[in-house]
Each structure stands twice: as structure tokens, then as C-alpha cells.
Structure 1
Amino acid sequence: AGKSTAGGQILFLSGQVDDRTIQKYEKEAKDKSRESWYMAYIMDTNEEERAKGKTVEVGRAHFETETTRFTILDAPGHKSYVPNMISGASQADIGVLVISARKGEFETGYERGGQTREHVLLAKTLGVSKLVVVINKMDESTVGWSKERYDEIEGKMVPFLKSSGYNVKKDVHFLPISGLLGTNMKTRMDKSNCSWWSGPCLFEVLDCIQVPLRDPKGPVRMPIIDKYKDMGTVVMGKIESGTISEGDNMLVMPNKANVKVISVHCDEDRVRSAAPGENVRVKLSGIEEDDITAGFVLSSIKNPVSAISEFRAQLQILELLDNAIFTAGYKAVLHIHSVVEECEIVELIEEIDLKRRKEGDIKKKKSKRKPLFVKNGAVVVCRVQVNNLICIENFSEFPQLGRFTLRTEGITSNRTQISHDFECVCLSKLL
């Protein structure tokens, strides 16, 4: 669809990449007979991605507008790399959904089982409440900045976004762009290109979106997404709550390791402290790199994150593999912040009838019953068990650590289907 090309163009337009580097990438792409891929090379750095023309890992980069500093998480779109996409989306405040206007490409992604549909559902359940839908490749000769094509795609996406839980009027923005040419990205569209568009450009839309507020004085919660050695142990992640400062004593959970913060880096700059919402690198003493795994959480000592192996959750079943039934004993893969862990549903506690709940029947307890199984579309409260201790929190207190997705994969067809979450409520705490 052009996600990496759009990401590369953003970095170029914001001055993060110079002309000489662009010329180098143009030559590399031309040598591989892939002239139009050169902007994607800025984000897709490994040879597999460049050879296949598809993102595999979550690319990470930074840029600034006049008012805001952004971290780009270039998540894979291909169905084989959905777990990597989940890792990227779980760290994001804003989702930029890139859709190709080229005939056939939008339709393939949007049809039942297509990746556009799955990514919208995943983004919503992973907490990405703000969505920018960019209709890309509008400059293609077969599209030609056609208002009819733009309206057709928007007309099909709006009902689906509403059914996925998005408030389209409040939280979703649509706009046409050309990621390859950079049209309508940093500056508004020239009327000679597209006479019918009078709306904002991408940078303006991103600047005006209000991201969720986080508590800088709250207990520290930083899910660790990666680690490496560099004259000590360095961990990477996004601060979801609290402030991390040089000299702080903290815990790495769930292994309860006492550590000290040696330094904090935002982007390439060393800082004395970092607040919620920042993507940071933190150098620690008191722990070896081998003793840390993605999914661990850097946490306050006085108020540490919960580490548990069983919890109670409310889930909405969106789609079951081959229309299977969801019952006790059902196994899936759980994705929560940076944790990926096999899990089992050990008990269905109650099924919730949302229609009756809305009508006020919940007081009469007519909306609840303990089921043996549920099917697609059901909302159910259940107990979930994992093999290893994981760090999670009550959804009401720390939404990003209490919101999760369950996925099952077909062994033979390798099709990915999703069933998933709304809230996670701790049943027990093993600290």
C-alpha cells in the first residue's frame, strides 16, 4: 500500500534525510529494477525487506513538526507478519492507515479476511483510538486524483470503521496523498494537482490530534520492547506512566530485579528525565542483558506492576477460526503491550447481552448467564491462564497494560484470525 514509502517521505520532508542519501537509495533501487521503491529504503533497512518490497520488522524513526515530536513505528502489513504489526501498534497513540487507491489493491485488502480489515480491528483493540486514513497512490495514472475513487474508498471504509468501534466524526481523518511524490503531506495540495480537495495536509492533521493524557507523577510503567549491551544493559520502550530520571532505583518485573538508572536517551539526545509518552533508551546497572526478555516492565519499587499467571478478562469474540466455538480449554496466543505468550481459557464465567445491558436489565441480572461455550460476536467474562508470569494491570487504571488481543493460527492454511479483548481485570497478584 506504500506505508514505508510514505514513512520515508515524511522523514525526507521533515529534514531527517538529506539529498545525498536519497540519491544513494535511488541508485540502489534502480540497480534492482525497483525505481519506485527508493523512498521505502529509508524505513526498510534490511535486505529481505528491500528484496521483497515488504516490511518485516517494525521500523522506528523520529521526526518533528513545528509543535510536536513524533516517533514513526512502521508496522508490517503482510499477513505473515501480523505479530510484528501488533508489537508496533501496541506502542502507538495514533494510527496512520495507508490504503492504496490503485484498482484491485484496496479491494484485496478490504475483502473478508483481508489485511486492511484485520489491521483496523487490531489497532482498535490495542488502544489506537485516533486514526488517520490516507488514500495513497492517488497520483497513479489509472487513478489520476479521481474524486470518484476517493469517495468510493471512503464510502466503504466509514461503515466498517464504525462497526469496529471508531467514532468516525471525532476520531478518524481521511485525506488523499501521494507517498512517492510527497503530495499533500507537509504542505497543502496544489489546486492544479487536485481541484476538489480543500482540506488539510498530513502534517497538519497529525499536529491537531489530541493524544491520551498520562500521569507523569504516577508509578513508573515502561514495557520493554528490546534490550542490548552497550557498556552496560540498555532497555528500550515507551513510558506509559510516571517519570524516569537518572539515578532512580527501580524494579524490572516480573523477575523483581533491583536496578539503577544510569542514563536516559530520547532519540539520540541524553536527557536527565523522560515523561510519559516518550520512547526512550534507558541504561541500567544491576542486571545482565540475558536476564531481560521483551515483555518485562521497568517499574517503580514502591508501587510495582502486577505479575500474575491467571486473570479475569472481558472479551469480545470477533472472529473464530473456521467458525469454531469458544469454550473452556480454548488455546490461543496472547498479545499484551510487548508480551507474546501462549494462554488457555480455563473458565467461562458469564456471557453479557449488550442489548439488554443498554436497556437497563443488568440490574435484574437478566443480561448474565454462565455459558458452556460462545460463538462469534459474543461478549464473555472468562478466566485466562498463562504458563509464565506476565506483567499486566487493571484496565481501569492502566489501559495500555490491561488491553490485549488473542489470536489463533490455522496450522495448515496459515490464515490468521482474531478473537479479542475489551478489558483485563486481575484475578490474582503474584508479586
Structure 2
Amino acid sequence: GAVDKRLMEKYKKEAATNDKSSFCFAYVCDNTAAEKERGITISTTLIKICTKKFAINVLDCPGHKDFIKNMVTGAAQADVSVVIVPATGFEACVGEKGILKAHITISAVLGCSKLIICVNKMDEIEESEREARFNEIKSEMARIARLNHTDRDPVIIPISAFHNYHLVESSPRYEWFKGWKSKDGVVINSLEAALDFQEEPPRFVDKPLRMPIVQKHKISGIGYVYTGRIDSGSATPNMPVLIEPADVVTEIKSLEIHGEAKTKVIAGENCGVAFKNAVKGDFNQVKPGNVISEAKNKPCKVYKACVAKL
């Protein structure tokens, strides 16, 4: 999960050129020129990190109100929501013009049942006021979680992402923070510990294949690659598949995870899929939101309507 040193130097130079030196770490996920120039996340980006316990796909979602549709795309693939709130300017995030509460509600509606809340930029608060400020935000975020999410007791920790305080281990800078304690007495004092504290969610590997398409990319020398997360079942090269509602029948040509070719991808994994020529239908009709299913094992069906309880 470490970022190459030379690549990090490149990001630092780019950030300095854009007069946003403190944004250099954000460039790991914010790849487009617009994101770098504006200093905000626009698209959802997927990167891999490894903790002591898990290999994790991190989906960096935009927090700006203009890009909430892109946030939904990322949140729909997540098992755990990591909510970052600023110690400075926190009131604006939870005020009438803020979008934090909506993001938390959306993550719950999309089935993301666990929350980790990080109070960031604690280093920008006067040292004598840090503990009181954290406790103030902690109380308000706990209240917001109770009202807007299914996780009634989220992990809440103070961090300084820029200085690497409480990301991997506790920092003597915040010695007043004794850790978040679970009902079982487990003490958590860093973001990595909070991630490793989570239980691995059930994966529906034995169910028929269902993979919603999240993005469509044109790759030189390969053609179109479709990315998303397998929600159930598994996929293998040469598997006959049906893509609905585009009504396209084809076979899987290749599968990749983070640029590495795979012979099998199972439920819970994010991947890229390339297809062979269509046996039936037109690939121009395949769009994000379409669902890939195995053609010979309870393939997806298209319905005009459904009944749902919200």
C-alpha cells in the first residue's frame, strides 16, 4: 500500500505548482487535472492498501455537494464507511448548507452498516483546546450517527492525516486521547486499528453471478474494460455472460484486479472485465448501471417494476 518515493516527489512538485502544497497526499487518489487544480475530489477512485489484517480496496469518494452522484457510485460498493470531518470548520459541514448528514444517510441506505469517524486537522487546533474540541465534535457526530445511520456506536478517533498522527499508531502529540473502547473492551487508537477491528462481511460466493458495472474505460490495445464489484457469485475467463438491460450476450475475455490478471474473481472483489465479441446485442448499449450475470446460471432478468420497502 506504500506510495513510491519518486511518485510522491512528483505529487509534491505538482501540488506546489498549483499553489496547494498541503494537497500533495491527496494527489494519490485525485488524478485528474481538474481535481488537482480545484483541490477537490470529483470522481470516485479505487486504490489498494494493506493493514495487518486485511487487504483493503479504498474508494475515495467526493465530499462536495456538486458530485453527490459520484459519491453514491463509490458508497454502493463499500462495506465500511470512513467519514472524515475537519476539526476546523466542522460546523459548516453539519449545518444547513453542509452535506455530511446526507452522506451518512446514503451510506446506510446503500447497506454500509459500519462507520468509522475520523476528526481530522487536529493539528490546526491550539494544543490547549484540542481535547475539548475533539470531545465536542465526538458528541455531535455520535448524535448524528444515531439519527442517520444503523451504526449506533461508531469508532470516533482524532487524527492529523498530513502529519500521520493516529493513522497507523497513536501519537504522543495527542496523549490526552486514551482510545475508543468497544463494548468488549477493545481499545482502538488509530485508523488502521479501527479498520482491523471490523468483521469481514458475508460474501455470497455460492449465489449466481451479479456484477453491476460502475465504469466503462477505453484502454489502448485492449478495447473497452468494464469495472465494478462482484456482489454475488464468481467470474472466470471464457464464462458466457448476459448483460442487462442492454441485452448483450458475450463471453469474458479477461479479468484483472489492480492490473494483475486473474483466473477467478469472487464476490466482494473489485475488478476490471474485458469481453469477447458479442454473440448477441450491441456493446454500445452497455452502460454503467447494467448488470453482468452468468448466462447459464440464473441470469439477470429485466422487470418493468418492483415493490420495495424503504
TM-score (norm 1): 0.65
Distance 2:149 2:78 in 1: 17
- Cα offsets for 1:347-385 (capped at 9, x unmatched): xxxxxxxxxxxxxxxxxxxxxxxxxxxxxxxxxxxxxxx
CA distance in 2, matches of 1:142, 1:86: 35
Task: Give the direction of change, closer, same or farther, for the CA distance of 1:137–1:283 in structure 2 (3 Å limit).
Answer: same
Instruction: Identify the match of residue 189 of structure 1 among 156, 163, 170.
Output: 170
> Does 1:309 find its partner at 2:304?
yes
d(CA) in 2 for partners of 1:141, 1:205? 23
- Deviation at 1:265? 0.9
Residue aligning to 1:156: 140
Deviation of 1:291 (Å): 2.9
- Structure 2 residue 158 is matched with structure 1 residue 167: no
Matched, 1:64 2:64: no
The aligned amino acid for 2:18 is K
SS in 1 for 2:134: helix
Higher strand fraction: Structure 1 or Structure 2? 1
Who is 1:300 aligned against? Answer: 294
Shift of 1:127: 1.3
CA distance 1:37–1:165, change in 2 (3 Å) = closer
Offset of residue 75 of structure 1: 0.8
Tell me the amino acid that sits aligned with residue 36 of structure 1.
S
Instruction: Report the CA distance between 1:74 and its aligned residue.
Output: 1.0
Q: Separation in 2 of the partners of 1:228 and 1:59? A: 13
The answer as to whether partners of 1:79 and 1:115 remain within 8 angstroms in 2 is yes
Deviation at 1:112, TM superposition (A): 3.0
Query: Gaps spanning 5+ residues in structure 1: where?
Result: 1-13, 315-421, 423-431
CA–CA separation in structure 1 for the residues paired with 2:105 and 2:58 = 20
Amino acid at match of 2:38: K
SS of the aligned residue for 1:277 comes to coil
Matched, 1:251 2:242: yes
Asked if the contact 1:229–1:289 (Cα under 8 Å) also holds between the matched residues in 2, the reply is no
2:196 to 207, 212, 227: 207
Distance 2:127 2:86 in 1: 10
Matched, 1:177 2:159: yes
Q: CA deviation at 1:126?
A: 1.3
> Who is 1:77 aligned against?
63
Is 1:218 aligned with 2:207? Answer: yes
CA 144–92 in structure 1, closer or farther in 2 if over 3 Å, else same: farther
Question: What residue in structure 1 maps to residue 26 of structure 2?
Answer: 40
Alignment of 1:333-348 (within 5 A): none
Structure of greater Rg: 1
Structure 2: state its 5+ residue gaps: 180-188
Q: CA RMSD in A?
A: 1.7
Aligned residues: 295
* 1:106 counterpart residue number: 90
* 1:223/1:238 contact within 8 Å kept: yes
Task: Give the deviation of 1:238 after TM superposition.
Answer: 0.1
Q: Partner amino acid for 1:212? A: P
Q: TM-score, length-normalised on structure 2?
A: 0.90
